[in-house]
Structure 1
Amino acid sequence: MAVKIIESYSVSPPSGTAAEQTFHLLHFDMIWLDFVLTETLYFYPLKCSQSHFLDTIIGNLKHSLSLTLKHFLPLSSKIIFPLSSAATPVSRYTAGDSISLTIATCDNDFSHVVSNRPKAADGLHHLVPQMPAAAYSSDEIKFSPLAIQLTLLPNQGICIGFTHHHSICDATNLSAFVHTWASINKSNVINQLPFYGRDSVQDSTKLTISYWNQFKTIRPTVSLTLPLPSDKVRATFHLTDSQIDKLKTLVIIKKPSIGRPSTFVVVCAYLWSCLAKSAGEVVENGDETEYLSSPVNCRQRLDPPLPENYFGNCLIHMIAVSSHGILKGDEGFAAAAEAVAAAVKSVQKRTSVLEYFERRSEIISELKGKRLVRVAGSSKLDEYGADYGWGRAVKYECIHTDFHGAVNICKARQGGIELGFSMSKAKMDSFVDVFNKYLYINSNL
């Protein structure tokens, strides 16, 4: 994939914006300081010449982006990581701060890039921007939380790529930002705006100090430094609403004590059991413990609850437990559903959030070196709904998961749920066979 950089801009909020905004990173945010930068891509089909792209579309997008940033100031701020003081990390916007906007063209075939079929994973990473260089001093590190790249595939389509520092906010907020930018660009309509109140976050003072004492000795991730995944292929798998309903019916038959499972439960369970069945490697101990971990939005689980438009991170990790032998067996899917449902139930209590953060270091340590399936994203997020005036996106990719092997889930464009991930070609071929085989078997319910 040949990507050519055409221009780079710095886009600031419009004049009249607040001169300064500061908020402290809480414990919810600090745990992401050293996490790999997130990379997401949105593809839109559009027969557009390069001249029209540069002369008209870019101008409109820059203007609407500036207007959007007025309401999402932390995304154009700087995160300040203190090195020599008792202060804790903050996001601070001051007048003149901006985000980096890169303009590029690409000669790849659009239909290939947006297909669900396995394709080289490393090629997609050229469609996301590099973060601006961090500023280092003896007292602090200052770095940007967001960068954007607009790439034209001439007369085929446009890709909008985001590189995002997870410590500034979670996927709920980033998706809201994308939808708001699209809405302003299309019709100058502003969707629900973010809520910045942080004083009411449950136990934030005690936990923030505790977590800062743990994280102040690390250094935050400020750029993309990992080698590209040249040994992997990336593919997307679709579970339709009808298939999901049949999987739910199977769980009700096999595990009636669960009741009717959620879409999230059956999607994770089907993924987990298929991965175990397709693993291929010989596991001497069939009872070897396996885990499935997924972030869970806990805004409504705090006391008092936070609104869904709360800006920042508000996630804990749900961890389901089973064994390799059970998951790969004939009853593996039903057993996986039972394990995931139990894990979801365990984090639904308000006290679970506090308990998780009090024990997080211990929990993470216990998972090191274990068989673990990581799930990212959310079955409730609509990543296809943002319309800039060209219609809905035809493809969404969450590609930073290439670096840590996670599976991203989100609502599919045509209904149902999508699962996107990468692995070696041999493992992917095996997974495809298992995934399709068991969907066929379950379709006969």
Structure 2
Amino acid sequence: MSTPAVRRISECFVKPQLCNQICNLTPWDIIMLSTNYIQKGLLFKKPANLVHDHDFIQNLLDNLKHSLSLTLSHFYPLSGRFVTHKTQNPPSCTVSVDCKNSDGARFIHATLDMTIADILSPVDVPPIVQSFFDHHKAVNHDGHSMPLLSIQVTELVDGVFIGCSMNHSVGDGTAYWNFFNTWSQIFQAQSEAENHEYDVPISRQPIHNRWFPHNCSPPISLPFKHHEEFIWRSETPLLRERFFHFSAESIAKLKAKANSESNTTTISSFQSLSALVWRSITRARSPPSEQKTTCRLAANNRPRMKPPVVEEYFGNCVHAVSAETTTGELLENGIGWAAGKLHVAVAELTDRVVVEFLEGWLGSPFIIQMGRYFDPYSLMMGSSPRFNMYGCEFGMGKAVAARSGYANKFDGKVSAYPGREGGGSIDLEVCLLPHIMSALESDQEFIGAVTVFDPMLS
């Protein structure tokens, strides 16, 4: 029996009421031009009494579009397109966001003849989930011709998935979830108001004064004649994607063990969990004991800068820290040893380290090419369990689950989500080659820490 396909019903463009801005890109933004868009979304249950009510979905779509327009007035770079200006002598180019000459953000309504259970019950994330997002396989540089933001609302038999594709050169995960939460806040306020035209006060106003290193005058000139010199598109191999749930109690045990083994109290919960994942996936890969292995963590630079950059800063402000060792050392020592190396890597990320990196980049600019950046024995921990994903509600109550699209996935990519029940629980979305995932599922140390959790019953 063939799998039903997502069917697009309609699409339109949504703009803020007024936007005439030009936004320059920072080094953090430019570095991301060859990676994929951020693709994250939330799955909601339809209200039980409205499952077959056509007016419900139409009203939802109307309210989503209206509140999106109001939200874009605060997050106006998302309504723009990239523009490149070139010079010939010497050959160079600059990339910026033009909000003047743009159609705005894309808004898509689609349907799928499947249920929430069809999406959440399989052990692996079904491939159909990738169809819940626009901009499939697009890289951020495609924002010259594609919208920088695209929303797809996919109606299931008993649910609604709201998927958001946001250009990663415009903002990072912190910026992404600030946008999503603000959209939800405005939606809720508009739904409760009699007059839908009033301006909704928001709790976290985005800051668009983009951060540049000292002695750096925007726009930043790049030493390239053509974008083909720095854009590289790669095909992700066939991967298995699976979510693993870790309760707050399980993570507390990991943290206690890691700190006890290291005779310290400074190792965090996430460093302890990351150490478990690093050891377990490395063991599943079975490389030679002398093989180098690296674990990278995506770190938010905002609180590390001097003076600190506010959390509401809208743009990219992240850095990848890494710990490296040999397979033999990693597996011969315990979780506390691995977590200790990760703790040191995070602690050593300071304002000075970030500024020196950016100064070096300005002297010799480069663009990250994801497929060439990671080796077969590395691991990347992305996203964050600190992001307020389940605080986003659109008149349907708390989301049942969070899911992601095709974007920025490879063998060894692990993304962290807050657990739906809160309290410090964490969900990990793990992407591995099929035979490695099978080995991980048989790893007793890893599976022993995983907690059975059914979002359908919560």
Corresponding residue of 1:427: 436
Q: How far apart are the structure 2 equivalents of 1:343 and 1:271?
A: 17
> Which runs of structure 2 are paired with 1:39-438 in the superposition (5 Å)?
39-46=39-46, 47=48, 48-49=51-52, 51-84=54-87, 88-94=94-100, 97-115=103-121, 117-120=123-126, 122-130=127-135, 141-154=144-157, 156-188=158-190, 189=200, 190-198=202-210, 201-203=212-214, 205=216, 209=220, 212-213=222-223, 217-218=227-228, 231-256=238-263, 258-279=264-285, 281=286, 283-284=287-288, 286-329=289-332, 331-347=333-349, 349-358=350-359, 369=375, 371-399=377-405, 400-403=407-410, 405-415=412-422, 416-434=425-443
Q: Secondary structure at the match of 1:205?
A: coil
Give, as a single letter, the amino acid of the residue that structure 2 aligns with 1:292.
C
Verify the 8 A CA contact 1:12 1:97 in the aligned structure 2: yes
Q: Please state how far the C-alpha of 1:96 moved relative to its aligned partner.
A: 6.1
Q: How far apart are the structure 1 equivalents of 2:149 and 2:448?
A: 39
Q: How far apart are the structure 1 equivalents of 2:448 and 2:145?
A: 49
Q: Please state how far the C-alpha of 1:358 moved relative to its aligned partner.
A: 4.3
Corresponding residue of 2:197: none
Q: Please state how far the C-alpha of 1:374 moved relative to its aligned partner.
A: 1.2
Verify the 8 A CA contact 2:276 2:446 in the aligned structure 1: no
Mean Cα deviation higher: 338-347 or 179-188: 179-188
Verify the 8 A CA contact 1:265 1:340 in the aligned structure 2: yes
Verify the 8 A CA contact 2:154 2:162 in the aligned structure 1: yes
Q: Please state how far the C-alpha of 1:429 moved relative to its aligned partner.
A: 2.5
Q: Secondary structure at the match of 1:70?
A: helix
Mean Cα deviation higher: 88-97 or 377-386: 88-97
Gaps of 5+ in 1: none
The root-mean-square deviation of aligned C-alpha atoms, in Å, is 3.2
Q: Secondary structure at the match of 2:270?
A: helix
Verify the 8 A CA contact 1:149 1:162 in the aligned structure 2: yes
Corresponding residue of 1:26: 26
Q: Please state how far the C-alpha of 1:423 moved relative to its aligned partner.
A: 2.4
Taking structure 2 as the reference length, the TM-score comes to: 0.83
Q: How far apart are the structure 2 equivalents of 1:43 and 1:359?
A: 42
Q: Please state how far the C-alpha of 1:166 moved relative to its aligned partner.
A: 0.6
- Spell out, residue by residue over 1:366-398, the C-alpha distance to the aligned partner (whole angstroms, 9 max, x if none): 966462101110232122220111112111123
With over 3 angstroms needed to count, the CA separation of the structure-2 counterparts of 1:71 and 1:126, relative to structure 1, is same
Q: How far apart are the structure 2 equivalents of 1:204 and 1:171?
A: 27
Give, as a single letter, the amino acid of the residue that structure 1 aligns with 2:173.
A
- Spell out, residue by residue over 1:134-170, the C-alpha distance to the aligned partner (whole angstroms, 9 max, x if none): 9x9xxx945431111100002x100011222210111
With over 3 angstroms needed to count, the CA separation of the structure-2 counterparts of 1:220 and 1:45, relative to structure 1, is farther
Q: Please state how far the C-alpha of 1:276 moved relative to its aligned partner.
A: 1.4
Q: Secondary structure at the match of 1:89?
A: strand
Verify the 8 A CA contact 1:13 1:73 in the aligned structure 2: yes
Mean Cα deviation higher: 168-177 or 93-102: 93-102
Q: How far apart are the structure 2 equivalents of 1:106 and 1:441?
A: 31
Mean Cα deviation higher: 269-278 or 23-32: 269-278
- Spell out, residue by residue over 1:146-196, the C-alpha distance to the aligned partner (whole angstroms, 9 max, x if none): 111100002x10001122221011111110111111111112352311001
Q: How far apart are the structure 1 equivalents of 2:257 and 2:274?
A: 14
Verify the 8 A CA contact 1:254 1:334 in the aligned structure 2: yes
Mean Cα deviation higher: 357-366 or 290-299: 357-366
Verify the 8 A CA contact 2:440 2:446 in the aligned structure 1: no
Q: Please state how far the C-alpha of 1:114 moved relative to its aligned partner.
A: 2.7
Q: How far apart are the structure 2 equivalents of 1:7 and 1:435?
A: 48
Verify the 8 A CA contact 2:411 2:433 in the aligned structure 1: no
Give, as a single letter, the amino acid of the residue that structure 2 aligns with 1:245.
A
Verify the 8 A CA contact 1:81 1:89 in the aligned structure 2: yes
- Spell out, residue by residue over 1:30-80, the C-alpha distance to the aligned partner (whole angstroms, 9 max, x if none): 000111222222111114336234421111111111111111110011111
Verify the 8 A CA contact 1:266 1:337 in the aligned structure 2: yes
Q: Please state how far the C-alpha of 1:340 moved relative to its aligned partner.
A: 0.4
Moved over 6 A (4+): 131-134, 219-222, 360-367
Q: How far apart are the structure 2 equivalents of 1:391 and 1:124?
A: 21
Gaps of 5+ in 2: 191-199, 452-458
Corresponding residue of 1:38: 38
Verify the 8 A CA contact 2:213 2:358 in the aligned structure 1: no
Mean Cα deviation higher: 410-419 or 167-176: 410-419
With over 3 angstroms needed to count, the CA separation of the structure-2 counterparts of 1:8 and 1:363, relative to structure 1, is closer
Verify the 8 A CA contact 2:85 2:93 in the aligned structure 1: yes
Verify the 8 A CA contact 1:28 1:315 in the aligned structure 2: yes
Mean Cα deviation higher: 186-195 or 264-273: 186-195
With over 3 angstroms needed to count, the CA separation of the structure-2 counterparts of 1:318 and 1:206, relative to structure 1, is farther
With over 3 angstroms needed to count, the CA separation of the structure-2 counterparts of 1:226 and 1:393, relative to structure 1, is farther
Q: How far apart are the structure 2 equivalents of 1:39 and 1:441?
A: 25
Q: How many residues align?
A: 422
Percentage identity across aligned positions? 25
Corresponding residue of 2:448: 439
Q: How far apart are the structure 2 equivalents of 1:303 and 1:311?
A: 18
Verify the 8 A CA contact 1:10 1:101 in the aligned structure 2: yes
Q: How far apart are the structure 1 equivalents of 2:290 and 2:137?
A: 47
With over 3 angstroms needed to count, the CA separation of the structure-2 counterparts of 1:209 and 1:58, relative to structure 1, is closer
Give, as a single letter, the amino acid of the residue that structure 2 aligns with 1:194.
P
With over 3 angstroms needed to count, the CA separation of the structure-2 counterparts of 1:382 and 1:206, relative to structure 1, is same
